[in-house]
Structure formats: structure tokens, C-alpha cells
Amino acid sequence: MSYLLIDIGNSYSKYALVDNNRLSSISHVKNSQFMDVLNSGALKTTERPKGVVLVSVIEKSLTNNIIDKLSKFFNCAVQQIKTSPIALGVTCGYTDYSLLGADRWVAMIAALSWVKKSPQLEPVLVVDCGTVLTVDVVNAEGQHLGGWMMPGRLLMSQALGQKASGILTGLEHSELDLQGNNAQQDEPVIGKSTWQCVNAGGQLAEAGFITECLLQAEKLLGVAPLCILTGGGAKEIAPLLTMRVEYVPELILNGLALFTE
């Protein structure tokens, strides 16, 4: 019997079924449309899931509303994953663990599980290129050593739109590029219109930030960690990085699946 996995991010939600560690029926939708999807019954599966495992970074009241609807709709338990001092071999590095975003926590757990399957256990740099770009360091023993955060490309574009609106005609196209609709990965990253310049600058800012995070992590660890890349903007950033990179688009869903075992 399968479980329903749901990852509610800052801008988008992903959901999938998992059965015997295999994901299926993977879908994503804007958060503004997620409740419509839920109310329409589009999440309904051919059989009632054994349970629902969910991680959410949105407002607590909205999350509770979604959990309540899911519980009634599927008539099963809904487990919300929250950050804890330790889980599935990963130890939180925050002084106050409750302040670490649950999505980052699940991503780190998934990343450690990923490297455990490889011939050599090694530290990881967990990079999530979403609305907020987050980077976390986890050593080979599963100790979270800390991390870094910065606004993602879309937030940077929106900030320019708010503070320098006169120069940004057609800024809405930057969101299309963030989802990989227009980016040309076999050409230099350079803009030929204002909004393209903004988006290209955002890409280079993200790539440079990740590269510097890797250098700082290497100083901390004494060895270069493996970079595990996920998030909506990761596919466009991966070719700009010169370090070892594993692109794992469903990293958080993979992490949620570990809580069903």
C-alpha cells in the first residue's frame, strides 16, 4: 500500500506516491492553486493511501488547514515532518533546532541517505535552489555543521521590480526562466534585454554563492564535499558549477519517503 508525500514550499507544492521506495505520479503546482487541487479531488488515488507524509514551510494556520482537509479526504493519518534534534542519522547543527526550516531538514536527511548508497561515504553540500537559495553542510557522520541562505533569482528580480521598476519592462519573464522554459544551457549566460540581464545576473549570483559556500565548507571539513543540488532553479544552475554535482530534483520527496519505512 502506498503513501502520499507532499512537499509544500514557499512558491510551489510537489506531491507523489511512494511504494517500496519508488516514487510515482509526481506532480507540482503553484501554492496558490494547491487548495483548488485538493478541493477538486485531483489528489485522489486509485486506492486510499496508507498515510500522508507532509513537510511545509508556509504559514502554520494554512498548513493546519491543509492537514485537516487531507485527513478528512483520505481518512488516514497525516504526519507532518518537523525539524528535531536528530532524525534518521542526521544531527541538527542549530543551537535552537526549531528555527531550522523543515524542508532543509528533510533535504539533509535525504542527501545523507543518498551518499550512504555510494561506495564511499563522504560529506555533502545540500543546495536547494528555490524561492530562497539554501546551502547546508553535513559531514560523513551525519552532523549538520551549519549553512547559508540568500534570496533566489525570483526574489532578487522582484526586489528590483519594487525598487527600480522603471527599468524592468517584461520582468514577469524571469519566472519562466526560473522554471527552465527559456534558459539556453549551451550558450554563455548573458542577457540581451533588461529582464534577461536581470535573470542572467541572478543565475551568476547563485552560482558564485554556491561556489563560495563550497570553498568555505572545504575549509571546515578539510575535504571538498559532494554538492547535491535540488529545487526549481537547480537545473539551470548545475551547468554553471565546476564542482562535483549530483542533481536530484526529487530530493525532498525522497527524504519524505524515508519516514514511511
Looking only at Cα atoms, what is the longest distance across the chain? Answer: 55
- List the catalytic residues: 103
DSSP secondary structure of 37-95: HHHHTTT--SS--SEEEEEE-S-HHHHHHHHHHHHHHHTS-EEEP---SEETTEE--SS
194-221 helix and 153-163 helix, angle to the nearest 10 degrees = 130
Length of the chain: 261
Distance CA 74, CA 56 (A): 19
